[in-house]
Structure 1
Amino acid sequence: MGDQAGRVSTSRPAFSILGLEDCVLLFNRVLLCVVVFTSLNGCGGNGQEDPQSSAPLPLPTPVQGEWYSPALGTTWQWQLSGDLNTQYDVDVYDVDLFDVSESHIANLHSQGKQVICYFSAGSYEQWREDAAQFPAHVLGDTLDGWEDERWLDIRDERVLAIMDSRIELAKSKECDAVEPDNVDGYTNHTGFNLTHEDQLAFNVALSDSAHAAGLGIGLKNDLDQIIELVPYFDFAVNEQCFEYSECEALQPFINANKAVFNAEYHSRWVNDETARADLCEQANAMGFSTLVLPLVLDDSFRFSCL
């Protein structure tokens, strides 16, 4: 659950018969390869104290199309563990991609709810059904606070190929959008010398893949890259920006009328009704969809500001 919680080639028709959307996707893939190749600083290392930087490079044009893009004020429930409670009167559920059943998704859809499917894109979780697909050399340091997860070398094409497969799984289950987690590895001790540009390239590639599948996609945390990435993402999922006084960084999503789904865990908002009311007043004034939840996201309690 992480923060909370070379690409495999495919056969394509000749460029001359590609449609406009395919042309944009192909161009984006080529440009992303240039971004990654230019920003590589080696595949080893002992992590980094500060994010590594490289010269700014142009990002590809965002893919255009129709997919789920929730607006400000969208209500939500976030549950990633335990028996799924489908009884909340909300607009959207955010659930674990692997654990949620197709029948649960169908049930939520029958109630008029949208479904966002969570998976970790930047970390390795040994209990996942596709864990054997990750080669050993892409597995880095353990995540702080999550000792059963390891950071991934997001520059390796096989990592992105596995994430493409996860997005296809989300499509096959009829999820409406995806929430890839741990997409800010370049600011952490990963065991790899990841740069700002490496992270941008990976995150934009995830966006392209989701949109090509007809799915919306949310940006999880990664506050330092919001200005660059907001055109590529349809909503934000944030943890603890009020606790750490970081919420102003999410303003670009608010300005774009894209939902900001925010979760807070601190005990003062769990146990103090007056403090929680003050939090909700701030969150509602900013346009956030804020919940106070247990860190393990098991539905053991839930307070909603909307």
Structure 2
Amino acid sequence: MEPISERRGYEAKKAARPLWRKLAGAALATVLVLAVVGHNHGSGNDGDRVHYRRDVSRRASAWQPKTGTTWQINIRDQLDLSNGNITPPVEVFDIDMFSNNAETVKTLHDAGKKVVCYFSAGSYENWRPDKDQFNQADLGNGLVGWPGENWLNISSQNVRNIMAQRIKLAADRGCDAIDPDNVDGYGNDNGLGLTADDSISFVKFLAGEAAKYNMATGLKNAGDILPSVLDVVNFSVVESCVQFQECHIYSPIIQAGKPIFHIEYPDSAPNMDDAAVDNLCNSRGQDGCSTVMKLTNLNAWVEYCDKTKY
């Protein structure tokens, strides 16, 4: 059987107090506000990095999208939102964390969108800015068809430290959730002896780190381990389940009231006829899926089951 895939958010009681205490309290509040403002606008940016940490203090838990939530994924391009025209008109944007800065996330938030930030958690990519932090011993076999990528030893403390830093960066960007890719090394020729238990432990680690910042976590493919991590993930991002006739494997996500953000890569895209779209969108196990049809480079082009294209 082919592997499932090769890829891939009180009001205080007011007691009567003497005037001097009120004045002292106001002064202290002013100092604290200035300190916070100074911290948020201080140094620490690298390159185009801009820090925009969401105010998580008012959020009791991570954002939980609902079944049927509409979405777009574009991890190929740096989004250009300068003209104020944000398309398609969907609820969620899944974007590359490294290519897009905090201003992009803020612009999407200001337009009422939720932002999922993509990064590869289970593979080394030789073009990422933190590539030199990996040890040679962390790297396994190359990913078939993806030059410059290698499977990672997801049990390595060094790898986990790097991923914790990436998750913090996602929080600094203002992301509502993370989309950690390539957590299914156990189903591929990884060269590291990775097992399903390794991936279960790793996904729980990633979700735990994201929860520190009140961010949600998605499970990318890896349907075999879904029952073991269903309680810690907030959605699934599933690729090519129609192609591999595996959409039904992910039904527990829908049954839990959580969405499946579903991607197919039709051979005839971007020129699919209506019959091809209907056949793809009505396949077994797709009830409740939020389906997009994409090119394999995952750029801006997208088509939906209602046959609208952007």
* Fold shared, TM-score > 0.5 on shorter chain: yes
Question: Which structure would you say has the larger RCO, counting Cα contacts within 8 Å and 6 or more residues apart?
Answer: 1
Alignment correspondent of 1:236: 236
Helix, strand or coil for the counterpart of 1:116?
strand
Per-residue deviation, residues 105-134 of structure 1 (Å, max 9, x unmatched):
111001100000000000001111111111
Alignment correspondent of 1:276: 277
Kindly report which structure 2 residues correspond to 1:262-273, keeping only aligned pairs within 5 A, or say none.
Answer: 262-268=262-268, 270=270, 271-273=272-274
Per-residue deviation, residues 2-42 of structure 1 (Å, max 9, x unmatched):
9335xxxxxxxxxxxxxxxxxxxxxxxxxxxxxxxxxxxxx
Give the structure-2-normalised TM-score.
0.76
Query: Retained in 2: the 8 A contact 1:142–1:190?
Result: yes
Distance in 1, matches of 2:289 and 2:304, equals 11
Alignment correspondent of 1:143: 143
Q: CA deviation at 1:283?
A: 7.8
* Aligned: 1:3 with 2:6: yes
Distance in 1, matches of 2:101 and 2:197, equals 36
Larger Rg: 2
Alignment correspondent of 1:15: none
Query: Retained in 1: the 8 A contact 2:143–2:151?
Result: yes
Letter aligned with residue 81 of structure 1: R
Helix, strand or coil for the counterpart of 2:147?
strand
Helix, strand or coil for the counterpart of 1:304?
coil
* Aligned: 1:178 with 2:173: no
* Aligned: 1:213 with 2:213: yes
Query: Retained in 1: the 8 A contact 2:269–2:295?
Result: no
Kindly report which structure 2 residues correspond to 1:10-29, keeping only aligned pairs within 5 A, or say none.
Answer: none
Q: CA deviation at 1:284?
A: 9.5
Give the structure-1-normalised TM-score.
0.77
Aligned in 2, Cα 1:284/1:87: closer, same or farther, shift over 3 Å?
A: farther
* Aligned: 1:68 with 2:68: no
Computed over aligned residues only, the root mean square deviation of the Cα atoms, in angstroms, reads 1.9
Helix, strand or coil for the counterpart of 2:299?
coil
Kindly report which structure 2 residues correspond to 1:144-163, keeping only aligned pairs within 5 A, or say none.
Answer: 144-163=144-163
Helix, strand or coil for the counterpart of 1:257?
coil
Alignment correspondent of 1:50: none
Alignment correspondent of 1:298: 299
Helix, strand or coil for the counterpart of 1:263?
strand
Query: Retained in 2: the 8 A contact 1:268–1:276?
Result: no
When you count helix as a share of all residues, which structure comes out higher?
Answer: 1
Could you tell me which runs of 5 or more consecutive residues in structure 1 were left unpaired when the two chains were aligned: 6-64
Query: Retained in 1: the 8 A contact 2:248–2:286?
Result: no
Letter aligned with residue 79 of structure 1: N
Alignment correspondent of 2:51: none
Could you tell me which runs of 5 or more consecutive residues in structure 2 were left unpaired when the two chains were aligned: 9-59, 81-85
* Aligned: 1:84 with 2:79: yes
Aligned in 2, Cα 1:240/1:212: closer, same or farther, shift over 3 Å?
A: same
